[in-house]
Amino acid sequence: MNENNSIHRVELSRGDLLSVENPARYVGGEWGEVIKSEMLRQLREEGTTSYLRFALCFPDIYEIAMSNLAMKILYKILNDIDGVACERAFSPWKDMDRLMRDKALPLFTLETRSPLNDFDVLGFSLQYEMCFTNVFQMLDLSGISFRASERSESDPIVVAGGPVVYNIEPIAEVFDLVFLGEGEEVLAEFMDLMKIYKASARTNEPMSKASLLKEASKLEGVYVPSYYSMDYNTDGTIKSIDTLVEWAPKSVRKRIISNLDCVDFPTNPVVPHTKIVHDRAYLELFRGCSRGCRFCQAGYVYRPVREKSIETLCGQGYELEAATGYDEIGVLSLSTSDYSSLPEFLDIMVEPFADRHTSLSLPSLRLDSFSLELMEKVSGTRKTGLTFAPEAGTQRLRDVINKGITEEDIMSSLELAFAGGWQRVKLYFMLGLPTETMEDVLGIAQIARRVEKLFFEVANREGLKRRKPEIVVSTSMFIPKPFTPFQWEAQDTIESLRDKQKVLAEALKSRNIKYSWHDLKTSVWEALLARGDRRLLDVLTDGYRQGLYFDAWDDCFRYEDWLRVLESHGLSLDFFGARSRGEEEILPWDHIDIGVRKSYLFHERAMAYQEKTTAPCHGGCRACGAAEYNTGVCHA
């Protein structure tokens, strides 16, 4: 914690900025950024202890971070709290990383160019496992110890949240505490505790960090890793997960927002002055998903489904357009077409937006609810590509994963699209799904061939004979994720998947079909991180010290080097990935409660092996346990 309240500024010369790729990543000054100048002035001149500085950290580059809606939400929530100034910090790309190390410059925030170790709290937003080592990069450049146990009372409180923290164990000991679930309410409650903690620093009885963590652990959704330890069997499996203090709960329950109409949403977000990955504004339709695809972690950890009202969405949409100047607004959810009032929402929004040449984009559409009328509403005269995710090549395997669509859903939707003028389509599939056979793999090619044939049939019928389809088939590798019915499954081997890719590539040869695939080695390493435990922290820190970070970037990921580091610690890749778990085995995340009962995951796993589907939640509650959260109470 910054006890002297001094405000430092890291100085970068014009020459420094011109020597790196895309200097706009590091200069700040964007439209919509928040700088609490008066608060910072008082900190500087009066040394007050009543104010808090929070560095919101994203362990990847600016263009990725600024495309993330969670960053925008948390930035607003924190800066709306009296006495709290939130600033942003990101991983510097390798050229800036080298420059900072050469010149001994600490990592800094964009708003005031303050070093991270001047802040009271560093909050990491963790969106994917492959960014774990970039947390070390950001701490290292700030002169902050990696392990919470090695930091002093004067160091910042280091916290984390985001979708991957449901199994944070590989780097759990980095953080003083972890926020499980949705952060809008619990962050505000934690800031109240931080104000007490900081104000006590100049009293006769200052509050210790240990006391702060004890009080924070009483908040629903707060996990304190230092309160837990893992004991191991001789075969490397977990023998027990033990609490080390009497007040630590046996199971830590996630936090959710029951009523999304009652929490603030960023309608005046920071607008980057350089191009980012997803360069548009966003509206959030709802959280959760009722479908229950058995491979999908998000579909389970974000339960139950909670929708925003049309009135709230429309108001936020108009404010976003006016405040940002974007001419495209993305409508986000896990399954957009499942929003119960989607047609009414579009009827209200599309016409006024179209008059001002602002478009709505609808990702995450399902094949069984595709509507030409719906697409015409949001696309106008532009016929950009359509993306669908059948996931598996045969009906048998789609039933195993509970995808809930048929091949006729696929063909009828694409027939409508082709007749409506679309000619580009991308189809996503997974290889290595549980129970997959080569027949399922070849089924992917059969679907693509049927789509190609269908296009020409529609073109002939509609008098569009000169047009040609652009069909992209993309495959990724199945990764068993925590809190899914497939969390116990073995991951397919690289050798097996290479054979499947080769067979599929041969079967897909056509001038109208392009086949692309995700790198297998990164998927294998991601599975290790997703299902790993605390023994991986030494592996990850050693790898970072050897220059292994930015693992989410294909040109930076060094698989063979990681294997050497892993093996030097007496651990194997197969133990974490290509190994099925028994249903009695203790899993590294068994002390975390997402609201969905483990017995329900067992049931869904059994249904998968029986090749039976489970109907979506919106057709009636499936008694998974998550409905207990859905009180509908407004906490505003």
pLDDT of residue 634: 41
Selection from 94, 20, 104, 92 nearest residue 59 by Cα: 92
pLDDT of residue 388: 87
What is the 8-class DSSP label of residue 133?
A: H
Determine if the pTM surpasses 0.85.
yes
pLDDT of residue 202: 81
Instruction: List pLDDT tens digits, range 188-233.
Output: 999 999 999 999 988 888 999 999 999 999 999 999 999 999 999 9
Question: What is the pLDDT of the chain when averaged over all its residues?
Answer: 92
pLDDT of residue 362: 75
- Whether 631 has a pLDDT exceeding 80, the answer reads no
Selection from 512, 496, 520 nearest residue 445 by Cα: 512
- Name the band, by pLDDT with cuts 50, 70 and 90, for residue 292: very high
- Name the band, by pLDDT with cuts 50, 70 and 90, for residue 381: very low
Instruction: List pLDDT tens digits, range 317-360.
Output: 999 999 998 988 988 898 888 898 888 898 888 878 878 888 88
Instruction: List pLDDT tens digits, range 229-279.
Output: 999 999 999 999 999 999 999 999 999 999 999 999 999 999 999 999 988
In the block, residue with structure tokens 């903690």 = 197
* Strands annotated E in 442-552: 470-477, 513-517
- Name the band, by pLDDT with cuts 50, 70 and 90, for residue 373: low
Domain architecture of the chain: domains with CATH: 14-253 (3.40.50.2300), 280-518+595-626 (3.80.30.20)
Helix (H/G/I), strand (E/B), else coil: 497: helix
Backbone angles phi, psi at 342, to 5 degrees: -60, -45
Instruction: List pLDDT tens digits, range 150-184.
Output: 999 999 999 999 999 999 999 999 999 999 999 99
Q: Which helix (H) or strand (E) holds 455?
A: helix 438-462
pLDDT of residue 468: 86
Rounded Cα gap, residues 10 and 140, in angstroms: 16
pLDDT of residue 599: 95
List all residues 6 or more positions away from 195 whose beta carbon is below 8 Å from its beta carbon: 50, 52, 83
Q: Which two tokens stand for residue 159?
A: 């916290």
- Name the band, by pLDDT with cuts 50, 70 and 90, for residue 370: low
pLDDT of residue 354: 75
Rg (alpha carbons) of the chain, rounded to whole number: 25
List all residues 6 or more positions away from 83 whose beta carbon is below 8 Å from its beta carbon: 39, 50, 51, 52, 195
Instruction: List pLDDT tens digits, range 523-582.
Output: 999 999 999 999 999 999 999 999 999 999 999 999 999 999 999 999 999 999 999 999
Contact 623, 410 (CB under 8 A): no
pLDDT of residue 368: 65
Instruction: List pLDDT tens digits, range 125-155.
Output: 999 999 999 999 999 999 999 999 999 999 9
% residues pLDDT > 70 (the chain): 94
